[in-house]
Chain A
Amino acid sequence: MSDLTRLTLADAREGLAAKTFSAVELTQAHLDAMTRAKGLNAFIVETPDKALAMARASDARLAKGEAGPLEGIPLGIKDLYATEGVQTTAASHILEGFIPPYESTVTANLWRDGATMLGKLNLDEFAMGSSNETSYFGPVVSPWRRKGSDGEISDAKIVPGGSSGGSAAAVAAQLCLGATATDTGGSIRQPAAFTGTVGIKPTYGRCSRFGVVAFASSLDQAGPIAKTVRDTAILLRSMAGHDPKDTTSVDAPVPDYEKAVGASIKGKVIGIPKEYRLDGLSAEIAALWEQGVAWLQAAGAEIREISLPHTRHALPAYYIVAPAEASSNLARYDGVRYGLRHTGKDIVDLYELTRAEGFGKEVRRRIMIGTYVLSAGYYDAYYLRAQKIRSLIKRDFDLAYQSGVDAILTPATPSPAFALGEKGSADPVEMYLNDVFTVTVNMAGLPGLVLPGGLSSDGLPLGLQLIGRPFEEETLFSLAQVIEEAAPKIGLPESWWG
């Protein structure tokens, strides 16, 4: 039964409907795969009992013909989503052992539609990181490995990207049929690019943030990572929707995204932003980008060069806005009501000891940056200017869309995945640069989809990014399906991990 893990979500859905296999069998196959893959460290908590109980309930509903759209589909949940009765940590020591008495809206939507939960996926602490190395529970290892020019596979451990590293690695290693993820500056899309999976960050407001541990509220957005464009579309439909408990969620009907998969893209206008041709962009990524253009053109899309002139300011502005909000959002982890508490001689001591012990280095760094940029005398120079830049970035996109562009094609990342410990230890900015193509999308609140386009010379996945108009995720799914069909099949890595 182990080959059940090789199915796509859409295939598994068919198999379950046809009773080729049961939800319990499907879930068990993934639980077995998880057991063998402990070395990847993709999960913080595995919930096999819950998974099987949910699968049995799914089988009962399937038998009665009452199946939901995701009936019996085993999923991994990023440990940033609160799950009732199951530890939720944000990969931070400060929340270790925290068991929420409530469920996030997005996961509740998935359970409503019949999905089963395999466990909670590892991530960068509080979603702050681009390599999944900042997790208190240890780094996630990508199932991908480098291949030498001689075809020899390297033993070097590769990062899955971050912050949704556990989600991307688990999908790539076929430990789940799909996973929830979140994206504040690229945390869905960069790991998807690094692991040869498909991830979409929908328009800000498309998914509820209720019950998702906040990093930067004005940028955070939930989305799925899955094996194919179609699978991603299926998951997003269940995750999305208006939620009265999140006033930034948008009250607009959720389309059947799957219908857009395979739709014609003839006449769609694709913008190619010249500012994304960075100095030092690797030749193979530049080539992949060209290739992506050609694939879309071949399917009848019109290609147009566009300008997004404020792009170069996006990353610095992002690293002001996001830490500013984070410094405030993380103030609640104070040792008073829940989570880690390190008592001291007085309340200030308690705060300092708890937070020093509970937060990792990168989180502390961002709290410090955020506190600084909001301080009296610095607010105007940093936070306010960053917000102005944000408006300008958004206007760049607005103008492009007003000129008739339907979507924008860019590389997903400036480089393929790197090895554990290779980046950012001396200079955090080296790590931050991973987000250079993705942060603009969060700053403008737009939908962005990343999918694999090919392999690097050393055998690692390379991703392309499609950026859409607000709430026009369907266009992205249609375009992505064209690329997915045209691109060489990179497949998913063969198991070396057990």
Chain B
Amino acid sequence: MSTHVNSSKLIPGATGEWEVVIGLEIHAQVTSKSKLFSGASTEFGGAPNSHVSLVDAAMPGMLPVINEECVKQAVRTGLGLKAQINLRSVFDRKNYFYPDLPQGYQISQYKYPIVGEGVVLVDLSPTEQISVGIERLHLEQDAGKSLHDLGANDSHVDLNRSGVALMEIVSKPDMRSADEAKAYVTKLRTILRYIGSCDGNMEQGSLRADVNVSVRKPGEPFGTRCEIKNVNSIRFIGQAIDVEARRQIGILEDGGKIDQETRLYDPNKGETRSMRSKEEAHDYRYFPDPDLLPLEFDQAFVDELGAHLPELPDEKKARFVSQYGLSPYDAGVLVLERASADYFEAAAKGRDAKLVANWVINELFGRLNKEGKSIETSPVSAAQIGGIVDLIASNVISGKLAKDLFEIVWTEGGDPALIVEARGMKQVTDTGAIERAVDEIIAKNPDKVAQAQAKPTMLGWFVGQVMKGTGGKANPQTVNEILKSKLGI
């Protein structure tokens, strides 16, 4: 458990500063063709009840059969979280009645999860990294969906999701601000996507969070926590934490006490509200599912999965720093998504990697963000970015012209070198041509010459004029040198 107290993260209250303590339970839908215990499809968006097997509908006499692919995904994820892989785990039944829970129980893992303690490193800024402990990861079934708006007097149930495999990833209460929690979820999602064990798509419900929030005065024991259920976007996770922390501080500062309860976040009203109190909490009557033998595999099974694991973000970042000489922060930004990292590496091959990283992060990512595009749908390919960087590195174009060139490639496409050729965007390094331009400007502006000789910062004005006169194509360094010698400054 982390005990860091960072004063910049404390929340000021009437009675002093408060520290918020956050733990997250992330429900990540396992990427697999079929469900955890049946052969039904997991495809999203089918007609209601079109992906339902007899097992999913809990018909009499039906039995669950574990899907090995889901087990592999959980192990792979555990390895990605640098976690203990338990060679023996047990499936339990979590008993409760609900119409979208056909068996009357959810098959989950309670005492003996498939994955134990691990750790996730989270970058908060170029200079701050925290480590969030993983308590456990277990496999469980998703429930179906109740639909209450199809008829006036009745509800309907869609069992397409019923039985789909989820990984519940439980963190330790190691986060101290909404930003930390958001960064943790983002990092976790990155890891899941790298591994390919969850698509991380929050809009489709592939990733959902239960957020545990409590507040305390720094240095005091943990306060009573509230659990905010089923928050389905990273932005809402942050909002819910801030709102809930302020609610709890308000109660405590008014002399009240926090009731341990389950709450819901309402993003429209910007508030959390009580769902059920501790007294109303279900008694789930967990017990080992007698239909399933304990889940057992050997270390060789784990090692085999480990051997085929892709390079994970932390390793990739470290390699980018050492291999390409990038700053840790730039490397971190590039590895956030596997596709971005691949893009960067393709563009950096045989080039000045730092220059490529600058262009990818500043120009490309900036533009993609602005236009709401992803790296996969980028109009500018890695080869094109590489081409632009080549032209800068060989002094064919200036940085400023390169930005214009990027704009052309973005909107019109094409080979950057050919565009530069065709549109005469080449930098003028011919000193004769530049000298002529300089002479012309000096001749026209004797008063400015006098000023510049008295105050050398006036040089910038001359540079601007020369650049204007050459259509921006003059090499700025050459212009500078010639101006300085002609003006005698």
A binds B: yes
Query: A244 near B: Cβ within 8 Å?
Result: yes
Q: What are the residues of chain A within 8 A of B285 when measuring CB–CB?
A: 327-328, 371, 374-376, 379
A95 to B59, CA, bound (A): 11
B97 contacts A351, C-beta separation under 8 Å: yes
Q: Which residue of A lies closest to B64 (CB)?
A: A247
Which of A95, A324, A328 counts the most B-chain CB atoms under 10 A from its CB?
Answer: A328
A211 to B290, CA, bound (A): 16
A337 contacts B61, C-beta separation under 8 Å: no
Query: B103 near A: Cβ within 8 Å?
Result: yes
A88 to B60, CA, bound (A): 9
Q: What are the residues of chain A within 8 A of B102 when measuring CB–CB?
A: 332, 336-337
Q: What are the residues of chain B within 8 A of A332 when measuring CB–CB?
A: 58, 60, 102-104
Q: Which of A81, A248, A331 meets B103, CB within 8 Å? A: A331
Q: Mark A348-380, 1 if CB is under 8 A from B, else 0.
A: 000100000000000000000001001110010
Q: Mark B28-62, 1 if CB is under 8 A from A, else 0.
A: 00000000000000000000000000100111111
Q: Mark B366-378, 1 if CB is under 8 A from A, else 0.
A: 0000000000000
Q: What are the residues of chain B within 8 A of A383 when measuring CB–CB?
A: 287
Q: Given contacts A332-B103, A336-B99, A374-B287, is CB(A247)–CB(B293) below 8 Å? A: yes
* Closest CB in chain B relative to A457 CB, distance in Å: 42
Q: Which of B63, B287, B293 meets A328, CB within 8 Å? A: B287
For window 150-177 of B, CB contacts with A under 8 Å fall at 155, 157
A338 to B97, CA, bound (A): 15
Q: Which residue of B lies closest to A94 (CB)?
A: B60
Q: Mark B284-304, 1 if CB is under 8 A from A, else 0.
A: 011100111100000000000
B59 contacts A102, C-beta separation under 8 Å: yes
Q: Given contacts A328-B104, A331-B103, A374-B95, is CB(A214)–CB(B61) below 8 Å? A: yes
Q: What are the residues of chain A within 8 A of B290 when measuring CB–CB?
A: 216-218, 248, 325
For window 103-128 of B, CB contacts with A under 8 Å fall at 103-105
Q: Given contacts A217-B290, A218-B290, A334-B104, is CB(A90)–CB(B60) below 8 Å? A: yes
B59 contacts A100, C-beta separation under 8 Å: yes
A244 to B66, CA, bound (A): 10
Q: Is the interface of A mostly helix, strand, loop or mixed?
A: loop
Query: A210 near B: Cβ within 8 Å?
Result: yes
B60 contacts A95, C-beta separation under 8 Å: yes
A254 to B101, CA, bound (A): 37
A127 to B348, CA, bound (A): 71
Q: What are the residues of chain A within 8 A of B283 when measuring CB–CB?
A: 375-376
Q: Bin chain B's interface residue count.
A: 20 to 34
Q: What are the residues of chain A within 8 A of B104 when measuring CB–CB?
A: 328, 330-332, 334
A81 to B61, CA, bound (A): 8
B95 contacts A331, C-beta separation under 8 Å: yes
Query: A104 near B: Cβ within 8 Å?
Result: yes
Query: A482 near B: Cβ within 8 Å?
Result: no
Q: Count the A residues whose beta carbon is within 8 Å of the partner chain — how many? A: 43
A491 to B62, CA, bound (A): 39
* Closest CB in chain A relative to B146 CB, distance in Å: 9
Q: What are the residues of chain A within 8 A of B93 when measuring CB–CB?
A: 328
A209 to B63, CA, bound (A): 8
Which of B63, B65, B93, B97 counts the most A-chain CB atoms under 10 A from its CB?
Answer: B63
Q: Mark A406-436, 1 if CB is under 8 A from B, else 0.
A: 0000000000000000000000000000000
Which of B58, B66, B290, B292 counts the most A-chain CB atoms under 10 A from its CB?
Answer: B290
A348 to B285, CA, bound (A): 19
Q: What are the residues of chain B within 8 A of A328 when measuring CB–CB?
A: 93, 95, 104-105, 285, 287
Q: What are the residues of chain A within 8 A of B286 when measuring CB–CB?
A: 374, 379
Query: A212 near B: Cβ within 8 Å?
Result: yes
B66 contacts A247, C-beta separation under 8 Å: yes
Query: A82 near B: Cβ within 8 Å?
Result: yes
Q: Given contacts A248-B293, A328-B104, A351-B97, is CB(A379)–CB(B65) below 8 Å? A: no
Q: What are the residues of chain B within 8 A of A53 when measuring CB–CB?
A: none
Q: Which residue of B lies closest to A209 (CB)?
A: B63
Q: Mark A206-233, 1 if CB is under 8 A from B, else 0.
A: 0001111110111000000000000000
B103 contacts A338, C-beta separation under 8 Å: no
Q: What are the residues of chain A within 8 A of B60 when measuring CB–CB?
A: 82, 88, 90, 95, 98, 100, 213-214, 332
* Closest CB in chain B relative to A207 CB, distance in Å: 13
B61 contacts A104, C-beta separation under 8 Å: yes
Q: What are the residues of chain A within 8 A of B59 when measuring CB–CB?
A: 82, 100, 102, 338
* Closest CB in chain B relative to A220 CB, distance in Å: 9
A245 to B63, CA, bound (A): 7
Q: What are the residues of chain B within 8 A of A375 when measuring CB–CB?
A: 283, 285
For window 165-214 of B, CB contacts with A under 8 Å fall at none
Q: What are the residues of chain A within 8 A of B291 when measuring CB–CB?
A: 214, 217, 247-248
Query: A246 near B: Cβ within 8 Å?
Result: yes
Q: What are the residues of chain A within 8 A of B287 when measuring CB–CB?
A: 324-325, 328, 374, 379, 383
Q: What are the residues of chain B within 8 A of A217 when measuring CB–CB?
A: 290-291
Q: Which residue of B lies closest to A324 (CB)?
A: B287
A376 to B96, CA, bound (A): 13
For window 71-102 of B, CB contacts with A under 8 Å fall at 93, 95, 97, 99, 102
For window 93-141 of A, CB contacts with B under 8 Å fall at 95, 98, 100-102, 104
A383 to B285, CA, bound (A): 11
Q: Which of B63, B105, B157, B293 meets A331, CB within 8 Å? A: B105
Q: What are the residues of chain A within 8 A of B155 when measuring CB–CB?
A: 347
Q: Mark A82-96, 1 if CB is under 8 A from B, else 0.
A: 100000101000010
A349 to B346, CA, bound (A): 63
B293 contacts A210, C-beta separation under 8 Å: no
For window 314-342 of A, CB contacts with B under 8 Å fall at 324-325, 327-328, 330-332, 334, 336-338
Q: What are the residues of chain B within 8 A of A100 when measuring CB–CB?
A: 59-61
A88 to B105, CA, bound (A): 23
Q: What are the residues of chain B within 8 A of A245 when measuring CB–CB?
A: 63, 65
Which of A209, A334, A383 counts the most B-chain CB atoms under 10 A from its CB?
Answer: A334
Q: What are the residues of chain B within 8 A of A88 when measuring CB–CB?
A: 60
Q: What are the residues of chain B within 8 A of A248 when measuring CB–CB?
A: 290-293
A211 to B97, CA, bound (A): 23
* Closest CB in chain B relative to A369 CB, distance in Å: 13
B63 contacts A247, C-beta separation under 8 Å: yes
Q: Which residue of B lies closest to A350 (CB)?
A: B99
A210 to B54, CA, bound (A): 11
A379 to B293, CA, bound (A): 21
* Closest CB in chain A relative to B39 CB, distance in Å: 10
Q: Which residue of A lies closest to B104 (CB)?
A: A331
B95 contacts A102, C-beta separation under 8 Å: no
A212 to B60, CA, bound (A): 7
Q: What are the residues of chain B within 8 A of A209 when measuring CB–CB?
A: 61, 63
Q: Mark A163-179, 1 if CB is under 8 A from B, else 0.
A: 00000000000000000
Q: What are the residues of chain A within 8 A of B95 when measuring CB–CB?
A: 327-328, 331, 374
Q: What are the residues of chain B within 8 A of A330 when measuring CB–CB?
A: 104
Q: What are the residues of chain B within 8 A of A371 when measuring CB–CB?
A: 285
Q: Which residue of B lies closest to A375 (CB)?
A: B283
A371 to B283, CA, bound (A): 10
Q: What are the residues of chain B within 8 A of A102 when measuring CB–CB?
A: 54, 59
B: which residues have CB within 8 A of A?
Answer: 54, 57-66, 93, 95, 97, 99, 102-105, 155, 157, 283, 285-287, 290-293
The 4 closest A-B pairs by CB, nearest first: A331-B104, A218-B290, A217-B290, A374-B285
Give 22 CB contacts A-B under 8 Å: A82-B61, A95-B60, A100-B59, A211-B61, A213-B61, A214-B60, A214-B61, A216-B290, A245-B65, A247-B292, A248-B291, A328-B105, A331-B104, A332-B102, A334-B97, A334-B99, A336-B99, A337-B57, A371-B285, A374-B95, A375-B283, A383-B287
A: which residues have CB within 8 A of B?
Answer: 81-82, 88, 90, 95, 98, 100-102, 104, 209-214, 216-218, 244-248, 324-325, 327-328, 330-332, 334, 336-338, 347, 351, 371, 374-376, 379, 383
Given contacts A332-B60, A334-B97, 9 further A-B contacts (CB under 8 A): A102-B54, A210-B63, A214-B291, A325-B287, A328-B95, A330-B104, A332-B102, A336-B99, A374-B287
